[in-house]
Amino acid sequence: MADAIMNRGPVLARRTFLGAIAAAGATVLAGCSFDSTGSGGAGSGAALKTLVVSVSQNIDSLDPHYVNNGALVTPWGLLEGLVATDDKGSGVVPAIAEKWDVSADGLKYTFHLRSTAKFSNGDPITAKDFEWTYQRLLAPTGAGSAATDGANSYKPSLGIVGATDFLAGTITDWSKVGIKATADDTLEITLATPNSAFLLGMANVSMLLLHKATIEKHPKDWMQPENWVGSGPYALTAWTPTASIAMKKHSHYWDADNIHVDAVQGRVLTDNNAALLAYRNNEIQVTVPNFAVISKDKDLMNQVQEAPGYLVYFLQSMFTKHPAGADARVRQALGKAIDRKALAKIAVGQLPGPSTVPQAVPGWDESLAIDFDLAGAKKLLDEAGYAGGKGMPTIQILDFASNPFIEATLQMWEELGVKTKYNIVDVGQYSDIRYKPIEDPNLWGYSANTFGGLPTWNNWVIDCWGPASLPFFSLPTDQVDAYLAIQADESLDGATKTARLASMIDSYGSAEAKRFVKLANAAAAEPDESARIKGFNEAAGLRQQMGYQIPLMWGPNPLMVKPTVKNLHVNYSPSGFYVKGIEGSK
Amino acid sequence: MALLTFLARRIARLVISLLIVSMLAFGLLQLAPGTFAGIQAVGGGSTGLANQQTSGNNSALVQAYGENVPIPVQYWNWLSHAVVGDFGPSYKYPQSDVTEIIAQALPVTASLAFFAMVLALAIAIPVGVISAVRRGTWIDNSLMFVSTLGVAIPNYLMAIILVLVFSVGLHALPTGGWTGPQSMIMPVIALGAGMAGVFARYVRSSVLEVLDEEYVVAARARGGTPRAVLLRHVLRSAIMPLVTVAGPAFAGLIAGTLFVEQIFGIPGLGQYFTQAAIGRDMPLMMGCTVVFAAILMAMNVIVDLVYAAIDPRTRAGLGLSHETKRKAAVA
């Protein structure tokens, strides 16, 4: 039969051909499922029923216990913690914890849970749920380590007794960690040292509450809408990682009366032009502004709300065999030669960033600012033996995307007489080489980076370039490979690895770096707030003098919000806002 | 029997080719700089959550995915699961198996590519024929100008233009999303317009060639109406080169929907594929590569079959004709 068909003349009758096309079309259409989020739109009536927000990254996971893009959406209202950030984003308000007591020495926080707090399936929330959640967060074999990127989301600056040791595997007895459910409605958290930023840190996405029974029953699929049980005011109804997420208000939430928006939808729009078009077309009400495009549109600029000082653009020194890299005067000269006001004019929406701690941090001192001082920079180079840039290696900036303000920075450095190079590489190569010694002895430079977070000293002095990481950059170049080899050694247990790395820092780290560690730790442990701020300022000042990080600009956490959306307060979380209290009209 | 033999031979060749593709892809991924963990840590800073990026993070990855064993063993481990359709869990989306991701995303991309292809052919064939028949006139020049424009405008730009016109300007369609058949209209046009331009030029030049053939002249001389000659004699022959390019072009459309998917926020495979490549999500990258390669190869087989179906002369070359065997037996 087959032969017969193939040996006949032309056999594709028009009807057969069109039929085949139609059948194929029907098959492919049947195979592709459309989103169940609904078209949403910018509200559908007098009151705002559905809030539609653009999401700039694929939502790869909703697990708050390791670093992923779920942080962009879960804090909207899928999950809630003991406390939540206030409207300004710089303080906290009660959430599942109705109130809390702090011991006189500032070390013990006792959280009292609401009797009305329930999960989205109606299960009551108890302190044991929190203890289980935090044990999962800190377990070396928990989500943070099982996740493929290995980046646990716990913030060490919280300073919970034993937390980082338990996470590192140096202690295995959970009872030694300062987190205890002492009654159904009471959770005690003990800190190693007093920490005035502790409560704000507890509002971080990593400290949100999960539902134990669901995760144990569906260890792989607990994030799917059909299995979802959450602690926030909204329950997950749909989720397509590359396209959208949808959540709907549920009746079990303890404060349901203050949830005015029935549903929240996130639309993944990785192209910021597409997001702007959707915003202009009233399909979404909240998006990240594309300043380069909207800066001349007064109406749109008026719709921008910001949490200032959320992000710092900075350069991170690389390891070079050239002696110039080991001279703090040279690093300081490069920092002084940058006209940050000019940079901020290039990168619309950003501010000049003269220090690695943004001004938004309470108690920030003007003395931290690095002034643009070309003459002073030249003088420092002269003192270091590189007058007019003579004898200096080529200075590169390593990056994985082209940024005009980085090009401008290099041009400013050329004013010192040094040769520069903008080295744009694939992101994989960038991640491979940014901490490794540069082979070419006539090449040195910095890698371009950003870091964002809460406007607290703990965040900007402990979590970012803090005692755990800064001394690494002070190692002599010939010791770096050995240090990295210990880090990568799979045969070492956590305790041994930690001890060996500390030993290397002790032997080879610079005296200034060690002094910084002492200052930063002392400031973090200081119970008196003014002394604490003074200590942090001193630590941050010393860090800047070392020059391993050169600040460039400060960026806000900005959102463009339709005027019809009321009471949306931009905060310092990656998700940008919390949905409680938001209301509005079409 | 000839057809079955032909299919068996082509499938065997396809399997060997896929094996080679998978080896090359696996090898090249090993050579590519960076690891999933390292790249995630680079992006982590902007979410304000990243702990320090360390080689220790990388070692967790190495342990979790058995990358501490020799590369050939890793490949064998991957292959032994892949042959039964198990591509393993994605690094980036640990809650999903690669097979599940592909099963959900491929139909979306395939539907876009399919309708874009239908649109392209529906436009290109009449445009190409009219241009050829009206060769040298203002109609020909205008149509070819528009075709060239279609080719010259990249699909992502076309997508933005469409959104500006139909969404922002006329408010007729949503700017994006994937909520129903209406979500396909602009992406399909954005993808199909350029392809239509390419095809139209192919059709025009092949129709021009065929119009000068003796059998076409003879058909006209026998009193055939221009329409009948065009449809029965010219178009059937002129369509052959189009079949040759349309198959691989369809596979190319499937692999090339990335920008359009990104602009319209469509959950197709293109987005997963690119993110996997950039982020070194090895299992997802391998799964996508093998699937795309299989589609491309399958399209080539289908093109051969369609060729054989519409042009008896090609059957001998493909080993699909009894005549070939008879000639071989005589020899």
The packing angle between helices A529-546 and A511-525, to 10°, is 160
- pLDDT, residue B322, reads 56
- The beta-carbon neighbor of A35 closest among B110, B178, B278 is B178
Could you tell me the CATH number of the domain that includes residue B179? 1.10.3720.10
Whether the CB-CB separation of A555 and A286 falls below 8 Å is answered with no
- pLDDT, residue A20, reads 63
Name every residue whose Cβ is closer than 8 Å to that of residue B118 and which is 6 or more positions away in sequence.
A21, A25, B192
Q: Shortest CA distance to A467 belongs to which of A542, A411, A402, A400?
A: A542
Instruction: Tell me the chain A residues in contact with residue B55 when contact means C-beta distances shorter than 8 Å.
Output: 484-485, 487-488
Residue-wise pLDDT tens digits, B169-211: 888 998 888 888 888 999 999 999 999 999 999 899 988 888 8
pLDDT at A148 over 50: no
- pLDDT, residue A9, reads 43
* Residue B5 φ/ψ, nearest 5 degrees: -60, -45
Lowest mean pLDDT among A42-51, A94-103, A360-369, A385-394: A42-51
How many domains is chain B built from?
A: 1
0.95 surpassed by complex ipTM = no
A278 and B176: CB-CB below 8 Å? yes
A58 and B64: CB-CB below 8 Å? no
Residue B243 lies in a domain: yes
- Segment 69-88 of chain A within 8 Å of chain B by CB: 69, 71-72
- pLDDT, residue B51, reads 36
Q: Is A116 helix (H, G, I), strand (E, B) or coil?
A: coil
Q: Shortest CA distance to B311 belongs to which of A149, A169, A331, A7?
A: A7
A490 and B93: CB-CB below 8 Å? no
- pLDDT, residue A10, reads 45
- The beta-carbon neighbor of B49 closest among A29, A435, A574 is A574
Residue-wise pLDDT tens digits, A152-184: 788 888 889 999 888 877 888 999 999 999 999
Structural domains for chain A: 26-289+562-584 (3.40.190.10), 308-474+510-557 (3.10.105.10)
Residue ranges in A415-565 assigned as alpha helix (H): 427-433, 457, 470-473, 477-488, 494-508, 511-525, 529-546
pLDDT at B50 over 90: no
Instruction: Tell me the chain A residues in contact with residue B278 when contact means C-beta distances shorter than 8 Å.
Output: 427
- pLDDT, residue A294, reads 92
Element (H, E) at A19: helix A14-31
Residue B287 lies in a domain: yes
Residue B238 lies in a domain: yes
**End-to-end CA separation in angstroms for chain B:** 21
- pLDDT, residue A153, reads 83
Task: Read off the pLDDT of each residue in A64-88 and give the average, rounded to a whole number.
Answer: 90
Q: Give the pairing of strands A394-399 and A583-584.
A: unpaired
Closest B-chain CA to A147: B94
- pLDDT, residue A35, reads 67
Task: Read off the pLDDT of each residue in A109-121 and give the average, rounded to a whole number.
Answer: 97
- The beta-carbon neighbor of B55 closest among A9, A152, A488 is A488
- The beta-carbon neighbor of A31 closest among B2, B68, B107 is B107
- pLDDT, residue A420, reads 97
Tokens coding B210:
């065929």
Q: Does A22 touch chain B (CB under 8 A)?
A: no
Q: Does A24 touch chain B (CB under 8 A)?
A: yes
- pLDDT, residue B262, reads 84
Q: Does A371 touch chain B (CB under 8 A)?
A: no
Nearest C-alpha of chain A: how many angstroms from B148? 26
pLDDT at A118 over 70: yes
Residue B38's pLDDT band, with cuts at 50, 70 and 90, is confident
Task: Tell which wins on pLDDT, A452 or A475.
Answer: A475
Nearest C-alpha of chain A: how many angstroms from B122? 12
CA atoms within 13 A on the CB side of A513: 24
- The beta-carbon neighbor of B59 closest among A9, A268, A490 is A490
Most confident of A38-52, A268-282, A511-525: A511-525
Percent of chain A scored above 90 by pLDDT?
65
Task: Tell which wins on pLDDT, A405 or A147.
Answer: A405
CA–CA gap between residue A188 and residue A108 (Å, rounded): 7
Tokens coding A303:
């719709």
Closest B-chain CA to A433: B34
- pLDDT, residue B52, reads 36
Q: Does A151 touch chain B (CB under 8 A)?
A: yes
Residue A142's pLDDT band, with cuts at 50, 70 and 90, is low
Residue-wise pLDDT tens digits, A8-20: 444 455 566 556 6
pLDDT at A46 over 80: no
- The beta-carbon neighbor of A149 closest among B1, B3, B36 is B36
- The beta-carbon neighbor of A274 closest among B36, B57, B263 is B263
CA–CA gap between residue B77 and residue A495 (Å, rounded): 32
Q: Does A484 touch chain B (CB under 8 A)?
A: yes
B47 and A574: CB-CB below 8 Å? yes
Mean pLDDT of chain A: 89
Tokens coding B302:
């289908």
- pLDDT, residue A254, reads 95
- pLDDT, residue B66, reads 57
B56 and A497: CB-CB below 8 Å? yes
Residues β-bridged to residue A398? A423, A447
**End-to-end CA separation in angstroms for chain A:** 65
Q: Does A269 touch chain B (CB under 8 A)?
A: yes
Between chain A and chain B, the number of residue pairs with CB atoms below 8 A apart is 268
Lowest mean pLDDT among A262-266, A449-453, A532-536, B22-26: A449-453
- pLDDT, residue B323, reads 52
Closest A-chain CA to B307: A10
Residues β-bridged to residue A54? A267
Percent of chain A scored above 70 by pLDDT?
90
Mean pLDDT of chain B: 81
Residue-wise pLDDT tens digits, B269-283: 888 888 888 888 888
Task: Read off the pLDDT of each residue in A432-449 and give the average, rounded to a whole number.
Answer: 94
Q: For an interface test with B, give the residue of A36, A149, A220 to mutate (most B CBs within 10 A).
A: A149
Residue B52 lies in a domain: no
Residue B86 lies in a domain: no
CA–CA gap between residue A132 and residue B330 (Å, rounded): 82
Residue A113's pLDDT band, with cuts at 50, 70 and 90, is very high
Name every residue whose Cβ is closer than 8 Å to that of residue B322 and which is 6 or more positions away in sequence.
A3, A7, B2
Task: Read off the pLDDT of each residue in A75-85 and give the average, rounded to a whole number.
Answer: 94
CA–CA gap between residue A53 and residue A77 (Å, rounded): 13
Residue B253 lies in a domain: yes
Element (H, E) at A214: helix A212-217
- The beta-carbon neighbor of B275 closest among A58, A273, A277 is A58
pLDDT at A220 over 90: no
Element (H, E) at A422: strand A420-424
Entry pTM: 0.81
CA–CA gap between residue A16 and residue A148 (Å, rounded): 50
A3 and B1: CB-CB below 8 Å? yes
Residue-wise pLDDT tens digits, B86-133: 888 888 887 788 999 999 999 999 899 999 999 999 999 999 989 998
CA–CA gap between residue A489 and residue A477 (Å, rounded): 20
CA–CA gap between residue A368 and residue A279 (Å, rounded): 39
A69 and B47: CB-CB below 8 Å? yes
Residue A36's pLDDT band, with cuts at 50, 70 and 90, is low
Residue-wise pLDDT tens digits, A531-582: 999 999 999 999 999 999 999 999 999 999 999 999 999 988 888 988 888 9
Q: Is A52 helix (H, G, I), strand (E, B) or coil?
A: strand
Give B67: exposed, middle or buried? Use CB within 10 Å, 0-12, 13-18, 19+.
middle
- The beta-carbon neighbor of A28 closest among B104, B110, B171 is B110
pLDDT at A191 over 90: yes
- pLDDT, residue A38, reads 54
B68 and A490: CB-CB below 8 Å? yes
pLDDT at B317 over 70: no
pLDDT at A94 over 90: yes
Residue A271's pLDDT band, with cuts at 50, 70 and 90, is confident
Closest A-chain CA to B281: A148
B271 and A61: CB-CB below 8 Å? no
CA–CA gap between residue A421 and residue A397 (Å, rounded): 7
pLDDT at B68 over 80: no
Q: Does A499 touch chain B (CB under 8 A)?
A: no
CA–CA gap between residue A229 and residue A221 (Å, rounded): 11
Tokens coding B232:
């029965």
Nearest C-alpha of chain B: how many angstroms from A372? 26
Instruction: Tell me the chain B residues in contact with residue A454 when contact means C-beta distances shorter than 8 Å.
Output: 48
Q: Give the pairing of strands A443-452 and A394-399.
A: parallel
What domain range includes position B228?
A: 98-330
Q: Does A243 touch chain B (CB under 8 A)?
A: yes
- pLDDT, residue A578, reads 87
Residue A145's pLDDT band, with cuts at 50, 70 and 90, is very low
- pLDDT, residue A141, reads 56
CA–CA gap between residue A336 and residue A333 (Å, rounded): 5
Q: Does A28 touch chain B (CB under 8 A)?
A: yes
Q: Does A297 touch chain B (CB under 8 A)?
A: no
Instruction: Tell me the chain B residues in contact with residue A150 when contact means C-beta distances shorter than 8 Å.
Output: 37, 56-61, 64
* Residue A311 φ/ψ, nearest 5 degrees: -125, 145
DSSP secondary structure code for residue A171 in this structure: -
Instruction: Tell me the chain A residues in contact with residue B49 when contact means C-beta distances shorter than 8 Å.
Output: 67, 71, 151, 153, 205-206, 574
CA–CA gap between residue B193 and residue B119 (Å, rounded): 8
The secondary structure of chain B, three-state, reads CHHHHHHHHHHHHHHHHHHHHHHHHHHHHHHCCCCHHHHHHHHHHHHCCCCCCCHHHHHHHHHHCCCCCCHHHHHHHHHHHHCCCCCCECCCCCCCEHHHHHHHHHHHHHHHHHHHHHHHHHHHHHHHHHHHHCCCCHHHHHHHHHHHHHHHCCHHHHHHHHHHHHHHHCCCCCCCCCCCHHHHHHHHHHHHHHHHHHHHHHHHHHHHHHHCCHHHHHHHHCCCCHHHHHHHHHHHHHHHHHHHHHHHHHHHHHHCCHHHHHHHCCCCHHHHHHHHHHHCCHHHHHHHHHHHHHHHHHHHHHHHHHHHHHCCHHHHHHCCCHHHHHHHHHC
Closest B-chain CA to A42: B174
Q: Does A426 touch chain B (CB under 8 A)?
A: yes
CA–CA gap between residue A76 and residue A264 (Å, rounded): 8
pLDDT at B53 over 90: no
B278 and A400: CB-CB below 8 Å? no
Q: Does A401 touch chain B (CB under 8 A)?
A: no
Q: For an interface test with A, give the residue of B102, B175, B239, B281 to mutate (most A CBs within 10 A).
A: B175
Instruction: Tell me the chain A residues in contact with residue B50 when contact means C-beta distances shorter than 8 Å.
Output: 67, 151, 451
The packing angle between helices B155-162 and B185-211, to 10°, is 120
